[in-house]
């Protein structure tokens, strides 16, 4: 029955029927109480997820997912997913309040999650201000999904994985830091 339900939508999720069966088995393992959805605590039982510096942001996106939503979420991590699908997921990671736009503070929070205490808040703000300026945005600008798609599609994310897109974005930020030696004050 589960295969019949997803057969028509497997293409939308860029996963094969065999992958859907595998995902369903994993979903059932995570859904320990057989509620039909996976809670944030159940997601945290996956070590790779729990160790991710963006796990708290991702938890907001995955808490309470039913199986269909679980497949849709994970499909963005597939090598078969389009660049646009990957960028849409990245946008959702940055747009934690779900208002459809990403502010300076939204990006700053992600940078804080990614860099921890490696650099100070002041240094992060300076780097981000410079990066946005170089991209043609002001500190008080809002980035919409179309902006993300345009900027990331042309500059980054030419590779196959969503995780790699995120790493490329982080690398771009780090390279901006290194170019601005004044940010690396001990």
Each residue's pLDDT tens digit, 112-165:
888 877 788 898 888 888 888 877 888 888 889 988 777 776 655 544 455 555
The pLDDT assigned to 36 comes to: 95
The pLDDT assigned to 7 comes to: 41
Average pLDDT for residues 19-25, to the nearest whole number?
91
Torsional sign, CA 133, 138, 142, 145: negative
Cα distances (Å, whole numbers) of residue 22 to 2, 16, 29, 122, 141 = 12, 10, 11, 45, 42
Distance, in Å, from the CA atom of 39 to the CA atom of 63, rounded to the nearest integer, reads 5
CATH number of the domain that residue 147 is part of: 1.10.238.10
Q: What is the pTM of this model?
A: 0.70
The pLDDT assigned to 47 comes to: 84
Distance, in Å, from the CA atom of 29 to the CA atom of 32, rounded to the nearest integer, reads 6
Which of 101, 111, 105 is CA-nearest to residue 142? 101
The helix/strand/coil state of 38 is strand
The pLDDT assigned to 182 comes to: 37
Structure tokens at 171: 């690398």
Q: Which domain holds residue 70?
A: 1-185
Task: Report the domain count for the chain.
Answer: 1
Partnered with residue 101 across adjacent β-strands are 144
The helix/strand/coil state of 15 is coil
163 or 93, greater pLDDT: 93
What's the mean pLDDT when you consider all of the chain?
77
Cα distances (Å, whole numbers) of residue 78 to 25, 64, 72, 152 = 17, 21, 10, 18
The helix/strand/coil state of 53 is coil
Q: Is the predicted pLDDT of residue 104 greater than 80, yes or no?
A: yes
């Amino acid at each position: 029955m589960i295969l019949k339900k997803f057969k028509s939508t497997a293409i939308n999720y860029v996963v094969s029927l065999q992958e859907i069966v595998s995902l369903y088995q994993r979903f059932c393992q995570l859904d320990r109480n057989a509620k039909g959805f996976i809670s944030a605590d159940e997601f945290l039982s996956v070590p790779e997820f729990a160790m991710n510096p963006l796990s708290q942001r991702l938890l907001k996106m995955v808490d309470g997912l039913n199986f269909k939503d679980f497949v849709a979420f994970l499909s963005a991590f597939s090598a078969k997913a389009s660049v646009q699908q990957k960028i849409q997921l990245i946008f959702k990671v940055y747009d934690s309040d779900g208002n459809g736009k990403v502010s300076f503070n939204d990006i700053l929070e992600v940078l804080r999650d990614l860099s921890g205490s490696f650099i100070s808040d002041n240094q992060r703000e300076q780097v981000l201000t410079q990066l946005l300026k170089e991209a043609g945005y002001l500190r008080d600008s809002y980035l919409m999904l179309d902006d993300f798609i345009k900027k990331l599609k042309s500059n980054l994310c030419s590779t196959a994985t969503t995780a790699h897109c995120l790493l490329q974005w982080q690398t771009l930020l780090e390279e901006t830091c290194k170019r601005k030696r004044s940010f690396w004050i001990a």
